[in-house]
Every structure is written in structure tokens, then in C-alpha cells.
Amino acid sequence: LTRFRRNPASFRDPDASVFHHGDRVLRAFQNAGKKRYDEFSASGLPEKWTAGGSLLPSSPLSDEERERFAPGAPLLLEHPRIPFLSWCYEWSFEMLRAAALLELDLFLEALEKDFLLKDATPYNVQFRGTDPVHIDVTSFARREEGSPWLAYGQFCHLFLNPLLLSASTGIPFTSRLRGSLGGISPGETRKLLPWYRRGIFLDVTLQAWAQRSFSRSDSSLSRLKKEAPVRRESLARTGRRLRRIIHRLRRPNPGRGWSRYEDEKIYSAEGAEFKDAFVDRWCGSFAPSTVWDLGCNTGRYSRIAARHADHVLAVDASSETIDELFLALRGEGNRTVQCLVMDLADPSPARGWAGREREAFTDRGKPGLLLALALFHHLRIAAGIPLRESLPWMAKRAEKAILEFVPKEDRMARRLLQWREDIFDDYTAEGFESELKKSHRILERAAIPGTGRVLYAVEAEGQKSRR
């Protein structure tokens, strides 16, 4: 029996909700929701945006399926699955900027046809490769004459303020957004940014003031709509202004990401070629549909894996590194590799209402193949996680893996040890192999020429060998 369940994050909209049936993503509408959807469809925008890739496609299901899955609902849509759901606290600066610009483009275009974007949140945006896509077709409703843009504050909390703060201070917004799903308020932003910073007076300083003074007034939305209607052109001006501000922001610490190239300079030309060939050969042999490259660094091996897989998730703890990779992949037109900022020693927990709205990283799927190249020495020495913890964690998520062991004598490992007492007695090649063998069978083991590093191709015990 295929499991049928309601999406745990889909409860806010009374007129439509998302369900899952096995792997399928379905959206059921109530009467009011269907009316809104029909109106919006008649504008031609969903069709145009879907074709252009900025809106997730939806296809209405047959009456028969509708009666089966959502009896009584007047409309049932099916959406294609996003390969891997990611949230804004796992994005780099450029990823959040791309999502923000997408939302503003949709806002402005919808406005021309007299529709308003009801929610302006990064939780409505997902990535397919490096392309942001708006996933919620119910976010658009006919504009009511005189209505302000109700989602403007939300846009500032979750897009503008994090981007402004990050661009201005160089501090990634990820930890802050992970800590608060509501984002960063104008009041907080105002306190953290220098007052003379360009482009913040209206949307930060003045909004913070308005927020404070509003809290003491006895007015209301319905009264203001009547007394001071907001014209459409004024809304468009707001959208264009936000677009200009965000477009102009300078990404934090440009060039810092490239310094991580050093990790790769450890190999001679021969060694690099050897490692490339090993990864390429085993990716081809495992032929996975999905790959997670944990500790992806410059994405060299994510790109190699992308030759053999439909989807590659490239994960790195450094926001700057992911920024460089994201921009490079976008330039290359690579549509297979998706970027993610996350410290593997502290993977994203479940967040939101009842701890179920945003799933933990490890609950969002399993890869067909896991790459963990030069990762475990970071986990062991820098994060203090013993192999008896890190290897079983890895083993639980991947039946097939390509791993690289970096010995303590390695130049990069020595650097990690430089300012630490060496209390890592378990961290040896023998220890690594014996821990690994508890769950996986070693299919190939190869020393990288010119280094003390060792590559492994492994498969879970109990997997039927195809060789």
C-alpha cells in the first residue's frame, strides 16, 4: 500500500494543501482556492512562467484520480518532484539573491496583470540545479484596489535584511535564518548596519520606525485600505526599488572561496589525475541516479559525478566556497549540481511548528552514492567526531560510497593539528578500515600517488555485488 500523507508544512492556506502519495506531490484545492487558481491561470502567467522555468509546473489530475485521492475537492493538481528540498538557511548569498530576484520579477510581472504575490518567502523557492523556481502556484491572488503589498514586510525579513546584513558585514545569514524562520526584522537590521549605508533608509530605517510607531496606533489594515489606498504604480515602484537594491549588493568576501583551492593543490598533476580517474570510474560503475558530495569544496568531483548521475548535491560548510561554486556552475550551464551550505558536524535540524515544517537534512532522502573525499579528517580533528561516530553516520545514509582517507601525516591534516593536542589515537588508516568494514565491503582501495592519502570504493554488506 502506498503511503498517503499530508505535507507537514502545508496547513497555513485554508483553500489549498499539499499531499504526498508515495513519491508523488499533489495539491488539493477547496472552492475558494480553485476560484483563485482559475483566475490566475486565465491571466496566462502560470503557463508562461512554467515554460520559462520560473514556476513549478502543475497538471490537473483526472476526475477519477481526484475522487480517489481527494474526494470532495474540486481541483487536484500534481507537481513534479524537486530532487532535493533545501531551505534558505542552507543557501549562500548568491543563492538567496537569485531567489529574491526571482520573487521580485514574479511580483512585478503579476502586478502588470493586476495580481499580487501574497507570500514573499524563500520557503516558496527551491533550486533545480542552480535555477531557482517558485513552487507555490497559490501564492498569487487578484489585487484588491487600494491594498498594500501585504507580503512586503515578509520579503524584507527573509530576503532583503539577510542580504543587506551579509553584504555589509561579511557574516553569513545562514545561522541567523536557521535560528529564526521569521527572518531578521528591520529593527534588528537597523541596529547592525551603519546608518549611512546606502539604500537602507526607506526599507530599513524608516520601516523600523514605522513598525515601532504602528504598534502604538489603533488603526488597522481595513481602515488604512479605505483612508489611504495604495495605487498599483506605488506597489510597482516598491518592487523595482527592492530589485535595484538587491541587484547592486556586493557579495561578501569575494575571492575568499577560492582560497579553498589549496586543499586540492596537495596533489601532483599525476595524483590529481589518478583521483579524478578513480572517482569517474566508480561513479560510472555505480551508476547512481543521485549523488551527495559531502565537503565538495570547489565542486571538482561533483562535476565528475554529474557526468553519471541525474542529480548531485554539493555540500560545503563555507558559504563563500558555495558562492563561488554556484556562480561557476551557473556560468557553465550545469543543471545537475545543486549547492548547499551546511556544516556536516552540525547538519540542519528539523524546524518550525511541531518541529515538522522543515525536515532535518538527514530526513530529506538518501543518495544513491555518497562522496566523502578528504572529509573525515576535518570531522575527526576539527570537529572532534571519532570515526566510530562519523563512519556509521555515513554508512546509514549510503549503500555505495567513494571515500578518501587523509592520514595524520598529511600536510593538510598536520595543519589541522597545528594548534591542538593530538588526542586522536583512533584516527589511523587501520582504524578507518576496520570501522568501515563493519558495514561496508571494500571493492577497491587505491593509494593516491605522491601522497599518503587512500581512496576507497565501498558498498554496503548485503548489497548484491554486480561484479
Partner 1 sequence: MEGGIFLTAYVDPGAGGLLLQIIFGGLAGLAVVIKLQWSRIAGFFRRKSR
Count of beta carbons in the 10 Å neighbourhood of residue 375: 23
Minimum CB distance to partner 1 smaller for 240 or for 396? 240
Beta carbon of residue 417, minimum distance to partner 1 (angstroms, whole number): 47
Part of the chain binding partner 1 (CB under 8 A), chosen from 161-169, 180-188, 301-309, 366-374: 180-188
Distance CA 369, CA 311 (A): 11
Q: Which three cell numbers stand for residue 189?
A: 537590521
- CB contact at 8 A, 390 and 380: yes
Question: Which residues, listed in sequence order, are joined to residue 27 by a DSSP beta bridge?
Answer: 18, 77
Beta carbon of residue 425, minimum distance to partner 1 (angstroms, whole number): 51
Minimum CB distance to partner 1 smaller for 74 or for 146? 146
Biggest distance spanned by C-alpha atoms of the chain: 76
Residues 146-165 within binding reach of partner 1 (CB under 8 A): 148-154, 156-157
207 scored as a contact of partner 1 (CB under 8 A):
yes
Total residues binding partner 1 (CB under 8 A): 38
463 scored as a contact of partner 1 (CB under 8 A):
no
Minimum CB distance to partner 1 smaller for 227 or for 421? 227
Part of the chain binding partner 1 (CB under 8 A), chosen from 100-108, 226-234, 299-307, 346-354: 226-234
Output 13-21 pairs: Cβ under 8 A, ≥24 positions apart.
Answer: 13/138, 15/138, 16/138, 19/69, 19/70, 21/69
Strand 131-134, strand 311-316: pairing:
unpaired
Distance CA 293, CA 368 (A): 11
Q: How far apart are the first and last CA of the chain?
A: 33
Minimum CB distance to partner 1 smaller for 19 or for 155? 155
Torsion sign (Cα): 27, 50, 151, 170: positive
Minimum CB distance to partner 1 smaller for 138 or for 185? 185
Among 68, 231, 248, 265, binds partner 1 (CB under 8 A): 231
Helices (H), 113-181: 152-155, 161-169, 174-179
Count of beta carbons in the 10 Å neighbourhood of residue 303: 20
228 scored as a contact of partner 1 (CB under 8 A):
yes
63 scored as a contact of partner 1 (CB under 8 A):
no
Among 12, 48, 81, 212, binds partner 1 (CB under 8 A): 212
446 scored as a contact of partner 1 (CB under 8 A):
no
Strand 369-372, strand 290-294: pairing:
parallel
Beta carbon of residue 210, minimum distance to partner 1 (angstroms, whole number): 4
Write out the residues near partner 1 by the rule CB under 8 A.
Answer: 148-154, 156-157, 182, 185-186, 202-203, 206-217, 219, 221, 224, 227-231, 234-235, 237-238
